[in-house]
């Protein structure tokens, strides 16, 4: 393995590139690691990657749920200031309640009977009470997202 200088002043590296020094070193390095160790390192890397993906997905779901609930709360606030009749307002509030219900927000309906009543009862909905219940639900979602 020698480097020679040509007549034009450039160095001739062709001989050194033909020597399989790097290939031999790589083969020797791989033979020092048994296959079970390589498999263990690969599986460990996949487990770490899966954990990061799962954590990221849960964080995204919590963020998206919180964001959509905040949008619905703003919608309820706008309904309070809109010039609507009581029946129109009740229909719009039912739409908001159904939007929450359909999103399968991590709320236990036994803990939030107002949501079930807002979705499936024929009684009129008080906008102020509905707004306060939504704020309580948002607070509980923040606690769930922080856990």
- SS3 per-residue string spanning the chain: CCCEECCCCCEECHHHHHCCHHHHHHHHHHHHCCHHHHHHHHHHHHHHHHHHHHHHHHHHHHHHHHHHHHHHHHHHHHHHHCCCCHHHHHHHHHHHHHHHHHCCCCCCCCCCHHHHHHHHCCCCCCHHHHHHHHHHHHHHHHHHHHC
Residues 42-53 have pLDDT tens digits of 999 999 999 999
Question: How much is the pTM?
Answer: 0.46
Task: Kindly indicate the confidence band of residue 83, based on its pLDDT and cuts at 50, 70 and 90.
Answer: confident
Residue 1 has pLDDT above 60, yes or no: no
Domain spans, the chain: 54-146
Residues 2-12 have pLDDT tens digits of 667 778 877 76
């Amino acid at each position: 393995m020698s480097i020679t200088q040509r007549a034009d002043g450039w160095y001739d590296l062709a001989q050194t590139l033909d020597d399989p020094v790097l290939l031999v070193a790589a083969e020797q390095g791989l033979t020092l690691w048994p296959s079970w160790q390589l498999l263990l390192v690969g599986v460990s890397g996949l487990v770490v990657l899966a954990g990061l993906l799962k954590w990221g997905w849960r964080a995204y779901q919590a963020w998206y749920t919180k964001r959509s609930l905040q949008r619905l709360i703003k919608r309820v606030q706008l309904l309070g200031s809109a010039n609507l009749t009581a029946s129109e307002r009740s229909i719009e509030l039912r739409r908001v309640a159904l939007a929450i219900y359909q999103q399968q927000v991590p709320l236990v309906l036994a803990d939030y009977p107002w949501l079930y009543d807002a979705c499936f009862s024929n009684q009129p909905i008080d906008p102020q009470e509905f707004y306060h219940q939504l704020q309580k639900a948002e607070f509980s979602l923040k606690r769930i997202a922080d856990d």
